[in-house]
Structure 1
Amino acid sequence: MDVDLTAWLGLALRWFHLMLGIMWIGASFYFVWLDLALRPPKAKEDKAAGVSGEVWAVHGGGFYHKKKYLVAPEGMPEDLHWFKWEAYLTFISGFLLLCLLYYFNADQYLIDPAKMPLKPLQATLLGLAFIGGGWVFYDALCKSPLGDNVKVFSAIWAAALVFSAWALCEMFTGRGAFIHVGAMIGTAMTANVFAVIIPNQKKVVKALLSGEKPEAKYGKIAKQRSMHNNYMTLPVLLIMISNHYPMLYSGDYNWLILSGLGLSSWPFRHFFNLKDKGITDYRYVSVGVAGYIFVMLAASGLFVTERPVGAKQTVTPAEVRQIVRTHCSSCHSDTPVNSTVSAAPGGVMFDTMDEIKKYAPRIIERAVKTDSMPLDNETHMTDEERKKLGAGLNTLETSK
C-alpha cells in the first residue's frame, strides 16, 4: 500500500487550521458584537454592582441575558471560561502548514530565482524575519503614543503591511509572498491574545482573588487589541483563499492588488461594527464595493498585461502536445511525476489531444495570457513557448 503521507498531513493541517480559525473568528466576532450591542442596565442593583451594559438575545430556542461589568464583579465566579485555545491552535496549525508547504518545499513554492536566488534556509529565515518583525513593529506602535490615535495608528500599520507586501513580492513567488503577509497579520492577532489580552485578564482575576480592586487600564488595553483583531480578520481570510485565484498573485503588481483588496475590506467590517451599535450607514458598504470594483478593473486592465495569443503563427498539434508534455503534464496527468502532486490538480489532465482541446480556453488564460501556470514557472517556460502554445491552441479552438 502506497500512502502519500505529505498529502494526507497537509489535508489534516488545512482542515484543522480551518476549523480552529472558524471557532476563533466566530467567538471574536460574537464578543465584538456583544460589546457594541450593550445598552445601559435598567436594574438599579446591576448599576450598583458595576454592570456597565446588558443585552437580551434569542438563539436556538432559548433566551439569553448578557451583562458586562465595567471592570470586574465583586467576587470571582467558580466557573470562568477563557477564550484563548482557539487562537493558539489556529496559529500552531497555520505555522505547521506554512513549514510543510513553503519551508520544506521552498524550492518549489517559495523561491523564485528570477527575483532573488535564495537557498531554502535563507528563504525560510527571511520569511520568519518578516513574520516576527511584523509583530515587534506592531506591538511597539500600539504601546507608543500613536497607539491611542486610531486614525494615525491605522494608517501607519496599513502602510507597513503594504510595504511588506511589496518587499515580499519582490523576493518570493506570488503565493509565497501572499501567505507571508497573512502570517504576519495572523501572528500579530495571535500574539495580541497570548501576550496582551490573556495576561491582562489574568491580572484582573489575580486582583479579585487577592481582594483588591483591578485597574481599569488592563481591560482598556485588551479591548484595543481585540478591536484590532476584529479589523484584521477579513484581510487574513482573503489571503487564505487567494491561492485559488492566480489573477491575484501572478502579476507584477500583485502586491498592489492584495493591498487594494485588503484595504477595501475595512469599510465592510466597519459597517457591521456600526450596525451592531444601532447605526446603519450604507456609505461604508458603497466605499467597500467601489474599492473592490476599482481593484478588479485595475487588475484586469492596468496591472495585468496579457500576452498576445499569437494567432498568426502556424503551430502543429504535435508541437502543442510537446509543449504541454514538457511544461504541464508533470502534474496534469493520470500518472503525475511531480513529487508534490499525488493526483492531477482539479482532475484536469492533458494526456490526450482531446483533453488538451477540452481545456484549451483555460490553458490559454493561465499559461498564455498570464504566467500563473506552470506554478511559479518551475519548468522555466519561455515567452516564446507561451506564444507558440497560444497560437496552436487558438488553431485547435477554431477547428472544433
Structure 2
Amino acid sequence: MGAYLLEWLSLFFRWFHVIAGVAWIGASFYFVWLDLSLRKPPQWKTDKGISGDLWAVHGGGFYEIAKYKLEPEEMPKTLHWFKWEAYTTWLTGAAMMSIVYYANATAYLIDPSKVPFTSIGAIATSLLFLFGSYFIYEVIVRSHLGKNAFIFSTLIFILLVIASWGSYQLFSDRASFIHIGAILGTVMVGNVFFGIMPAQRALVDCVRRGEKPGKEVAELALQAKNRSLMNNYFTLPLIFTMISNHYPMMYAHEKGWLVLVFVGIITATARHYFNQKHLGHKKTTLLGYSSRINCIINYLDAT
C-alpha cells in the first residue's frame, strides 16, 4: 500500500512540477526576450520616462508594450506579479526529490560502490550538498565579485564543474544529474525570492508613496535584472537535468560528470545564441549542438 501511494504522489507532483515549470520557464523566456527586443522609443515616450518600447502582433491584434526606466507616471490599478510560478516549481520539485530519491534512497540515491551511506546519512549529505552550494552562490552574488559579469560567470561555471564532479563521488549516477538540476533550480528560485522580488517590492513601494526611486532602488532593480538574466541562462541546462533519467547512456557513462559539464556548456550557449538574436545580432552563427554532444561522448568513450 505504501509503494502504491508513493506512485500516486509521484504522478501528481511530477505533473504539477512540469506544469509549474513550463509556466515559469515560459515567463523567463518571454521577459528576457522582451527586455532584449525593446528599442529606443520616440521622444514623446522618452519624456514620459519610457526607456524602451515594442510593437507586436498576436491573436488577431496589435500590442504596444512600453518599459519605464524606473517608475510610471502613476501606479496602475492592476499590477501583475510573476513569482508563484517559480515558488511552485521549486516546491513541487522538492516534493519529487523527497518521493523518488529520499523515500527510496537505497534504490535511487545511494551507490554502495562509491559511498556506503545509510539512508539518513545519504539524505543529510544530499541536503547539505544542495543548500551548501546555494549558500556559496549567494555569498558570491552579493559580494563585489558579483558585480563583474565576467568574473562572476567564470566563478559560477567553475563551482558547477566542481559540483558535477562532487555529486558523482557521493551519489548514484542518476541522482548525480538530478542534484545538479536541483542546485540550478534552487539558485533560480533563490534569485527570485532574495533578489528579484525585493527589488520589485522596493520599486512599487516608492511609486505608491509618490516618491522618486533613489540610487539604492535603482541598484536593486539592476541586480534583479542581472539575476533574471542568470536564470535565463540556467533554464536549458536545468530542463536537461530534470529529464536526464530518460538518458542512462549519459548519466551512466564512466565520465558522466564531464558529459554533464559539456551538455551544460552547449545548452547555455544555445540560450546565448537566442539572446543575441533577440538583440538583433544577425551574424550570430548556431553551432551544431547535437552533433557536438555525440562527438564529446565518442571522445570520452575512446579515452
TM exceeding 0.5: yes
Query: Which residue of the partner structure matches residue 275 of structure 1?
Result: 277
Cα displacement (A) at 1:298: 2.1
1:157 partner amino acid: I
Query: Which residue of the partner structure matches residue 69 of structure 1?
Result: 68
Paired residues of 2:140 and 2:146 also in contact (CA < 8 A): yes
- In structure 1, how many angstroms separate the alpha carbons of the residues matched to 2:80 and 2:68? 16
Cα displacement (A) at 1:74: 2.5
Query: Which residue of the partner structure matches residue 51 of structure 1?
Result: 50
2:58 partner amino acid: H
Query: Which residue of the partner structure matches residue 120 of structure 2?
Result: 121
Cα displacement (A) at 1:301: 3.3
Superposed CA RMSD in Å reads 1.7
Query: Which residue of the partner structure matches residue 295 of structure 1?
Result: 296
Structure with greater helix share of residues: 2
Q: How does 1:234-273 map to 2 (within 5 A)?
A: 234-273=236-275
Query: Which residue of the partner structure matches residue 147 of structure 1?
Result: 146
Secondary structure class of the residue paired with 1:169: helix
- How many residue pairs get aligned? The number is 300
Deviates more, 1:287-296 or 1:167-176: 287-296
- In structure 2, how many angstroms separate the alpha carbons of the residues matched to 1:182 and 1:59? 34
Query: Which residue of the partner structure matches residue 287 of structure 2?
Result: 286
Q: How does 1:178-189 map to 2 (within 5 A)?
A: 178-189=177-188
- In structure 2, how many angstroms separate the alpha carbons of the residues matched to 1:2 and 1:276? 50
1:266 partner amino acid: A
Cα displacement (A) at 1:282: 3.7
| CA offsets 1:359-397 (integer angstroms, 9 cap, x no match) | xxxxxxxxxxxxxxxxxxxxxxxxxxxxxxxxxxxxxxx
Paired residues of 1:169 and 1:255 also in contact (CA < 8 A): yes
Secondary structure class of the residue paired with 2:123: helix
Matched, 1:137 2:136: yes
- In structure 2, how many angstroms separate the alpha carbons of the residues matched to 1:300 and 1:242? 19
Q: How does 1:168-187 map to 2 (within 5 A)?
A: 168-187=167-186
| CA offsets 1:130-154 (integer angstroms, 9 cap, x no match) | 1111211111111222212222211
Query: Which residue of the partner structure matches residue 194 of structure 1?
Result: 193
Paired residues of 1:51 and 1:69 also in contact (CA < 8 A): yes
1:145 partner amino acid: H
Structure 1 unaligned blocks of 5 or more = 303-400
Paired residues of 1:264 and 1:287 also in contact (CA < 8 A): no
| CA offsets 1:37-95 (integer angstroms, 9 cap, x no match) | 00111151x21111000000111212111000011113211100000000000000000
- In structure 1, how many angstroms separate the alpha carbons of the residues matched to 2:298 and 2:75? 56
- In structure 2, how many angstroms separate the alpha carbons of the residues matched to 1:237 and 1:281? 27
1:115 partner amino acid: K
Query: Which residue of the partner structure matches residue 29 of structure 1?
Result: 29
- In structure 1, how many angstroms separate the alpha carbons of the residues matched to 2:2 and 2:96? 23
- In structure 2, how many angstroms separate the alpha carbons of the residues matched to 1:167 and 1:138? 16
Cα displacement (A) at 1:193: 0.5
Secondary structure class of the residue paired with 1:6: helix
Cα displacement (A) at 1:231: 0.2
Cα displacement (A) at 1:289: 5.4
Paired residues of 2:41 and 2:50 also in contact (CA < 8 A): yes
Paired residues of 2:276 and 2:284 also in contact (CA < 8 A): no
1:259 partner amino acid: V
Q: Which residue, 220, 223, 227 being the options, matches 2:222?
A: 220
Structure 2 unaligned blocks of 5 or more = none
| CA offsets 1:152-206 (integer angstroms, 9 cap, x no match) | 2111111111111111111110011111111011000001111110111001111
| CA offsets 1:328-366 (integer angstroms, 9 cap, x no match) | xxxxxxxxxxxxxxxxxxxxxxxxxxxxxxxxxxxxxxx
Matched, 1:40 2:28: no
Paired residues of 1:41 and 1:47 also in contact (CA < 8 A): yes
Return structure 1 stretches of 4+ with deviation > 6 angstroms: none
Cα displacement (A) at 1:266: 2.0
Cα displacement (A) at 1:280: 2.4
- In structure 2, how many angstroms separate the alpha carbons of the residues matched to 1:292 and 1:129? 31
- In structure 1, how many angstroms separate the alpha carbons of the residues matched to 2:261 and 2:2? 43
Paired residues of 2:277 and 2:284 also in contact (CA < 8 A): no
Q: TM-score of the superposition, structure 2-length normalised?
A: 0.95
| CA offsets 1:105-132 (integer angstroms, 9 cap, x no match) | 1011001111101111111111111111
2:186 partner amino acid: T
Paired residues of 1:102 and 1:109 also in contact (CA < 8 A): yes
1:96 partner amino acid: A
Q: TM-score of the superposition, structure 1-length normalised?
A: 0.72
| Percent of aligned pairs with the same amino acid | 44
- In structure 1, how many angstroms separate the alpha carbons of the residues matched to 2:3 and 2:145? 54
- Identify if the C-alpha distance between structure 1 residues 126 and 145 changes in structure 2 by more than 3 Å, giving closer, same or farther: same
Query: Which residue of the partner structure matches residue 96 of structure 2?
Result: 97
